């Protein structure tokens, strides 16, 4: 049996609190994981109370009138990253979203505008565990001073520092970290993984024991809508739900869906779930759309810092942003992406294209190969595993919309996902 990890999710906005755990995760095959609400109910004062203030023990408490100082001694401060624009801009933190799990965590700081930031670390010393901090000069935060996370990050403390805000992450062990930002709306994403966790210790990238399928959109976000009213979110979920039991049964691979019903899941949260699950492969499932009703075919996308023009348009739609923001983001990712992971993702993407055509073309001869393309997709950012975005067909093309509405076509798409994973595991090249 494989040990399960839980993903604790909490979002605290500066004006409201929402400490609840997001709904159930669907696990199939070998793994049954409970989504337990094991977030700490509040750190003891002795762990955090430098100033001994009567700070609230949990994020659910009312906003205090005094802010606990979180300044750390300068000794041992190791700034590790800076970025953002422009320096010194005034802004505010709207929300601090936390996705904590046993061996990984994602912290998303939603901001009113682009700001400068600095990420640093403080080693364990004087009875304190290791800490990370993010300094945001000129940025305000009027939310709780302590935010529970759970898993690898015990909690986040917030406080004023030199006219700005410092966030301190209290860790329960040494971690690897990566920070990047997403535009429109501007947010900082800090990804953390255990130095000894499963996600960074695999020797063979073709070993697949866990897969995450990510049905695009959901809830109030229908995705693209076809002329006859077919909604992308429904097709994506149905294809994922058809594929998941096959992957589990035929390949013996544990499969997690980022959503298993018509529910909205933020783009930031989807890869956080995959990282927490220790997934070996992340596949986001979508339907393509174009202003031109003639556009048709199957395409698979990877996140790359060197995007192509057509892919940027698709990324803009899937990101709920502009093409220029997608381009800007792709460029910014150059600093944090490693070439190996792009190549591995491309390898799987090619296999998925090939498996799709093999599955569809016998019955649908007009299906065309749109190829593997590269662009700045937010939903793929920060994945610890090969990650692709599959555009199953064009919902904006009348004939393809009709096909996407049929159970047979959807089943063939599900079969293609299974066959691509099987080929990838077997070491096939695309
Ligand atoms: Zn989509």
Separation between Cα atoms, residue 328 and residue 316, nearest integer Å: 11
Whether pLDDT at 121 is above 90 = yes
CA of 379 to the centre of ligand 1 (A): 10
Together in a domain, 379 and 417: yes
Among residues 197, 217, 247, the one where a domain terminates is 197
- Give pLDDT, residue 275: 92
Together in a domain, 143 and 37: yes
Together in a domain, 299 and 406: yes
Together in a domain, 147 and 220: no
CA of 297 to the centre of ligand 1 (A): 15
- 424 vs 333: which has the higher pLDDT: 424
The token duo for 285 is 């499932």
Together in a domain, 156 and 212: no
Asked, for residue 2, whether it belongs to a domain, the answer is no
- Give pLDDT, residue 74: 38
Q: Is 223 exposed, middle or buried (0-12, 13-18, 19+ CB in 10 A)?
A: buried
What pLDDT, in 10s, does the model give residues 192-221? 998 765 444 444 667 899 999 999 999 999
- C-alpha distances in Å from residue 355, one per residue of 5, 345, 349, 362: 31, 15, 10, 12
Whether pLDDT at 422 is above 80 = yes
Whether pLDDT at 336 is above 50 = yes
Together in a domain, 323 and 379: yes
Whether pLDDT at 366 is above 50 = yes
Mean pLDDT, all residues of the chain: 80
CA of 20 to the centre of ligand 1 (A): 26
What pLDDT, in 10s, does the model give residues 159-178? 999 889 999 999 998 899 99
Asked, for residue 1, whether it belongs to a domain, the answer is no
Among residues 182, 197, 212, the one where a domain terminates is 197
CATH number of the domain within which 111 lies: 2.60.40.3500
- Give pLDDT, residue 149: 94
Asked, for residue 144, whether it belongs to a domain, the answer is yes
Whether pLDDT at 65 is above 60 = no
The tally of domains found in the chain comes to 2
Together in a domain, 80 and 66: yes
Q: Give the confidence band of 289 by pLDDT, cuts at 50, 70, 90.
A: very high
Together in a domain, 105 and 242: no
SS3 labels along the chain: CCCCCCEEEEEEECCCEECCCCCCCEEECCCCCCCCCCCCCCCCHHHHCCCCCCCCCCCCCCCCCCCCCCCCCCCCCEEEEEECCCCCCCEEEEEEEEEEECCEEEEEEEECCCCCEEEEEECCECCECCEEEEEECCEECCCCCEEEEECCEEEEEEEEECCEEEEEEEECCCEEEEEEEECCCCEEEEEEEECCCHHHCCCCCCCCCEEEEEECCECCECCCECCCCCEHHHHHHHHHHHHHHHHHHHHCCEEEECCCCCCCCCHHHHHHHHHHHCCCEEEEEEEECCCCCCCCCEEEEEECCCCCHHHHHHHHHHHCCCHHHHHHHHHHHHHCCCHHHHHHHHHHHHHHHHHHHHHHCCCCCCCCEEEEEEECCHHHCCCCCCEEEEEEEECCCHHHHHHHCCHHHHHHHHHHHHHHHHHHHCCCCC
CA of 178 to the centre of ligand 1 (A): 26
Together in a domain, 332 and 386: yes
Asked, for residue 265, whether it belongs to a domain, the answer is yes
Asked, for residue 44, whether it belongs to a domain, the answer is yes
CA of 183 to the centre of ligand 1 (A): 18
CA of 63 to the centre of ligand 1 (A): 38
CA of 317 to the centre of ligand 1 (A): 7
CA of 376 to the centre of ligand 1 (A): 14
Together in a domain, 72 and 189: yes
Separation between Cα atoms, residue 145 and residue 82, nearest integer Å: 23
Asked, for residue 148, whether it belongs to a domain, the answer is yes
Together in a domain, 33 and 140: yes
- Give pLDDT, residue 89: 53
Q: Give the confidence band of 304 by pLDDT, cuts at 50, 70, 90.
A: confident
Together in a domain, 265 and 214: yes
Q: Give the confidence band of 239 by pLDDT, cuts at 50, 70, 90.
A: very high
The residue among 310, 275, 299 whose CA lies nearest residue 100 is 275
Mean pLDDT over 291-299 rounds to: 93
Asked, for residue 430, whether it belongs to a domain, the answer is no
Mean pLDDT over 365-380 rounds to: 92
Whether pLDDT at 307 is above 90 = no
- Give pLDDT, residue 83: 53
CATH number of the domain within which 221 lies: 3.40.630.40
- Give pLDDT, residue 51: 25
Whether pLDDT at 31 is above 60 = no
With pLDDT > 70 as the criterion, what percentage of the chain qualifies? Answer: 77
Whether pLDDT at 262 is above 70 = yes
Answer whether 188's CB lies under 8 Å from 179's CB. Answer: yes
Other beta carbons within 10 angstroms of residue 359's beta carbon come to 23
Other beta carbons within 10 angstroms of residue 406's beta carbon come to 10
CA of 389 to the centre of ligand 1 (A): 9
- Give pLDDT, residue 333: 81
What domain range includes position 305? 202-425
Asked, for residue 411, whether it belongs to a domain, the answer is yes
- 34 vs 143: which has the higher pLDDT: 143
Among residues 197, 216, 249, the one where a domain terminates is 197
CA of 116 to the centre of ligand 1 (A): 31
């Amino acid at each position: 049996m494989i040990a399960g990890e839980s993903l604790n999710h909490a979002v605290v906005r500066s004006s409201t609190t929402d400490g609840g755990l997001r709904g159930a995760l669907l696990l199939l095959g070998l793994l049954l994981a409970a989504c337990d609400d094991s977030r700490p109910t509040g750190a003891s004062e002795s762990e955090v109370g430098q100033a001994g203030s009567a700070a609230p023990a949990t994020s659910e408490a009312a906003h205090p009138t005094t802010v606990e100082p979180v300044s750390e001694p300068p000794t041992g401060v190791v700034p590790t990253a800076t970025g953002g624009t422009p320096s010194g801009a005034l802004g505010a933190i709207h929300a601090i979203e936390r996705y904590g799990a046993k061996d990984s965590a994602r912290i998303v700081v939603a901001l009113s505008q682009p700001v400068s930031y600095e990420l640093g670390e403080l080693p364990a010393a004087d009875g304190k565990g290791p800490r990370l901090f993010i300094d945001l000069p000129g940025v305000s935060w009027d939310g709780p001073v302590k935010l529970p996370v759970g898993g690898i990050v015990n909690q986040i403390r917030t406080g004023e520092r030199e006219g700005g805000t410092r966030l301190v992450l209290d860790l329960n062990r040494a971690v690897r970290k990566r920070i990047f930002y997403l535009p429109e709306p501007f947010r900082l994403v800090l990804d953390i993984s255990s130095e000894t966790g499963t996600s960074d210790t695999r020797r063979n990238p073709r070993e697949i024991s866990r897969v995450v399928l990510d049905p695009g959109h959901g809830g109030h976000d229908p995705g693209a809508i076809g002329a006859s009213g077919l909604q992308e979110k429904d097709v994506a979920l149905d294809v994922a739900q058809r594929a998941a039991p096959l992957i589990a049964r035929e390949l013996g691979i544990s499969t997690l869906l980022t959503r298993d019903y018509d529910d909205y899941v933020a783009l930031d949260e989807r890869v956080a779930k995959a990282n927490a699950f220790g997934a070996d492969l992340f596949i986001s499932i979508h339907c393509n759309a174009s202003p031109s009703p003639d556009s048709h075919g199957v395409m698979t996308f990877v996140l790359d810092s060197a995007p192509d023009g057509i892919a940027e348009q698709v990324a803009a739609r899937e990101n709920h942003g502009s093409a220029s923001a997608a381009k800007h983001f792709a460029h910014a990712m150059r600093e944090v992406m490693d070439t190996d992971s792009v190549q591995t993702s491309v390898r799987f993407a090619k296999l998925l294209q090939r498996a799709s055509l093999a599955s569809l073309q016998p019955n649908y001869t007009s299906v065309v190969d749109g190829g593997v393309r590269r662009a700045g997709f937010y939903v793929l950012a920060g994945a610890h595993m090969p990650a692709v975005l599959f555009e199953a067909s064009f919902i904006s093309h009348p004939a393809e919309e009709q096909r996407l509405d049929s159970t047979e076509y959807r089943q063939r798409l599900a079969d293609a996902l299974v066959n691509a994973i099987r080929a990838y595991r077997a070491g096939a090249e695309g």
